[in-house]
Structure 1
């Protein structure tokens, strides 16, 4: 079943944090800084509405900007994966 296109972008909703696709250089720096591999990052499915909206593909790493009253601005990273 194919979904009808949304009249409003989900990215404009106040509860959806900013998501951006990181460049390969940024990903390399991130993995080196935390001494981790791509497989150790949290995952997000390619079918996620935000992932589809921004055009991310499996293997891309997303930087998610989170705002909080206690921590201020923090970043969360996820790697896009296919459905399992």
Structure 2
């Protein structure tokens, strides 16, 4: 499926790509409080990353710098594993 000229196909539908979700500010605050960290202590993901570019088109919404994305991966030791990334320019 072609989303637009900047995203030739939806990589988020590929079986090897974990689910990506853009968190609201409220959800982000809850996560940071639970993890006892600041936003800048999160691992980073560039806004030029293919998954972020595709997510932006899929949700039809801009993903500003300093937004937080939740990535839900399948896990061998538990059903799923959630990780969080801070969106940066790049």
Cα distance in structure 1, aligned partners of 2:34 and 2:7 = 39
* Map of 2:30 onto structure 1: 29
Task: Please report the RMSD computed on the Cα atoms of aligned residues, expressed in angstroms.
Answer: 1.4
Shift of 1:71: 2.2
TM-score (norm 1): 0.86
* Map of 2:71 onto structure 1: 64
1:3-22 residue pairs with structure 2 within 5 A?
Answer: 5-6=7-8, 8-22=9-23
Cα distance in structure 2, aligned partners of 1:61 and 1:25 = 11
Q: Which runs of 5+ in 2 are unaligned?
A: 57-62
- Other structure's SS at 2:66 match: coil
Q: Which runs of 5+ in 1 are unaligned?
A: none
- Other structure's SS at 1:20 match: strand
Asked if residue 48 in structure 1 is aligned to residue 55 in structure 2, the reply is no
| 45 and 29 in structure 1: CA distance in 2 versus 1, 3 angstrom threshold | same
TM-score (norm 2): 0.81
Which consecutive segments of 4 or more residues in structure 1 shift more than 6 A? none
- The number of residue pairs the alignment matches comes to 80
